[in-house]
Structure 1
């Protein structure tokens, strides 16, 4: 079932390359924050489509319409993410403050314990956060549903904690592999082209510079948006695995 999710999400995210480029253009201005919320809002639409769909369905990519609604959805998602991730952050800070006050060997031991606890809480918070966003989408965007902890625990229990963790680990691996492979292929191509030019007496600096720019453009306009949609679609489909 998990492999079916990956297969569906990989194919789904490549359905409309025009939308990938549009997302890439928006990413350029993400430092202005407003575009960042639009990107998050669009990915929320992808999740919303997934939680109301089925694996290997024929769902189309969402449209870039009703920008205000998409922006509001993005703000809601970011608020949910911050709220959940604050928990492990606060726990880590508490351990750090106590450890700094104790000093000596006990301080190091306490920090090791604190880091372990923080990591465990982070994993749980991450799962609850992602399922919370999906739960909010499934319930017509009701913000409170993202924090319905009892309901979210039931969702994860039905899917299986192990299955959720394995799915997330797989997403991380796939994301890293695709990014590495695409970057490496472009880099190797221009490196070979540059060294060939150097052998013939040409200056390879310009070729390397062009390769760097093309690599950056491909990552920004295609690979980055593609992987963003892939992860959002996968998370939404994982939510549908409830018994």
Structure 2
């Protein structure tokens, strides 16, 4: 079932190149901060369509319109993520403060324990926040539903704790692999031409080809791969929620 969700999400995310490019431009402008909320707002629309849809269905990609509504949805999604991350952050600060006061070997040991505990809590917060956003989308966009811990935990139990954790860990690995493969493939192609040009004695041209490869890889990641993996993650989140 999880593999079916991955397959659906990989295909769904590639439905419309134009939408990917529009999101890519928004990613590019996210250093202005405000466009960042549009990105999260769009990801929320994908989750909402997925929560209301089905695996291997004919769900369309949401339109990039009604900017104000999308912006508000983005703010709500960011709030959900930030609030869920508060606990791991506080725990890490507490471990750091206590370990610093102890000093010596005890400091290193306590910080190691604190780091492990923090990573576990971040993973838990990640899963809870993703289900929380999907639960919000499934309940009339009610922000309070994203923090209805009792209902969300019951949904995660219904889907399966191991299945949920495995699905999101697998999703992270797939997204990282997509980035790595695309980046390395571009560098390989441009590196090959760079080496070939260098063997012909055109050293400056070879250097230019290497630089061009890095720039093209960067912009491809920004304008295509980034939006693609964002849509994929939101799609997986919505479809996984539907398994409860």
The Cα RMSD (Å) is: 1.1
1:139 Cα deviation after fit:
0.5
Match of 1:39 in 2: 39
Question: CA–CA distance in 2 between the matches of 1:217 and 1:106?
Answer: 46
Match of 1:219 in 2: 221
Question: CA–CA distance in 2 between the matches of 1:86 and 1:44?
Answer: 21
String of CA shifts for 1:24-80, please: whole Å, max 9, x gaps.
Answer: 011111011110000010001000110111111100100011000000000000011
Given that residues 28 and 223 in structure 2 are in contact (C-alpha distance below 8 angstroms), is that contact kept between their aligned partners in structure 1?
no
Question: CA–CA distance in 2 between the matches of 1:108 and 1:19?
Answer: 48
Under a length normalisation based on structure 2, what TM-score does the superposition of the two structures give?
0.96
Question: CA–CA distance in 2 between the matches of 1:207 and 1:91?
Answer: 47
Question: CA–CA distance in 2 between the matches of 1:100 and 1:237?
Answer: 44
Question: CA–CA distance in 1 between the matches of 2:107 and 2:198?
Answer: 56
**Is structure 2 residue 220 aligned with structure 1 residue 237?**
no
1:190 Cα deviation after fit:
0.8
Match of 1:71 in 2: 71
Tell which deviates more after alignment, 103-112 or 34-43. Answer: 103-112
Match of 1:29 in 2: 29
Question: CA–CA distance in 2 between the matches of 1:127 and 1:223?
Answer: 23
Question: CA–CA distance in 2 between the matches of 1:209 and 1:115?
Answer: 38
Any unmatched runs of 5+ in structure 1?
A: none
String of CA shifts for 1:132-175, please: whole Å, max 9, x gaps.
Answer: 01000111110000000000010000011100111011111111
Match of 1:144 in 2: 144
